[in-house]
Each structure stands twice: as structure tokens, then as C-alpha cells.
Amino acid sequence: GAVVSQHPSRVICKSGTSVKIECRSLDFQATTMFWYRQFPKQSLMLMATSNEGSKATYEQGVEKDKFLINHASLTLSTLTVTSAHPEDSSFYICSARGVSGRSNTQYFGPGTRLTVL
């Protein structure tokens, strides 16, 4: 099946630093990528939707200046958490939807666990 990778899988950083998370679709071209945040024992919360070559669309309540999203190519999207604080600690999951043949299904990356000290 389709494979979506995320890097890093786990990151610990100091408060005030920025962290970049990469999401790659490995065997298909992803026209649309999604970034989710998941708190322990809760469901996924959509943060933003990004289309290749255009600006991301953020969900209400998500700070676009804090969570920078770049969808540079059909196989790569990045999420940068700028000036991270402990409350940004969470599990971040990306998802990708592909061009023809895979358009009906979203495939998820393995997630990135961010801990801000």
C-alpha cells in the first residue's frame, strides 16, 4: 500500500527553539497533505491543509505564524513549530492524499512525538 513517512519520529527540544517535521509520500504523488495534532487518548485534530505550490489553509484557532507549513513538492510537506513552548508538546501526524488511483483514501504517516522542555 501507499507509504507516508515522517521525520523525525521523536524530538525533544528546549523552549523557544524551532522544530521542523518532514512528511513525505514515498510511492505516490500527494496533491494534498494534511497536518493533525493528537493529544493523549483523544482523536485527531486537523490543523491545516496544504496543496502543492500554494499557501496552507489553517483551521480556526491554529496560529499560522506558529505552525509554518510548506508544501514544496508533490512528495514533501514540512511543518515548522516556531518558538516552541511546552504546551506545543503533542503527537503530530501528517496525512497525504494522492493523484488518481489513490484519491479516495488518505494515508497517514507514523507520527512525530514532540516534547518541549
Which positions touch another protein (CB under 8 A)? 1, 32, 34, 38, 42-44, 46, 49, 57, 91, 93, 95, 103-111, 113
Query: Could you count the other beta carbons within 10 Å of the beta carbon of residue 14?
Result: 8
Is the CB of 49 or the CB of 82 nearer to another protein?
49
Is the CB of 16 or the CB of 39 nearer to another protein?
39
Q: How far apart are CA 16 and CA 9, in angstroms?
A: 20
Residue 104: Cβ-neighbour burial (10 angstroms; 0-12, 13-18, 19+): exposed
Is the CB of 4 or the CB of 19 nearer to another protein?
4
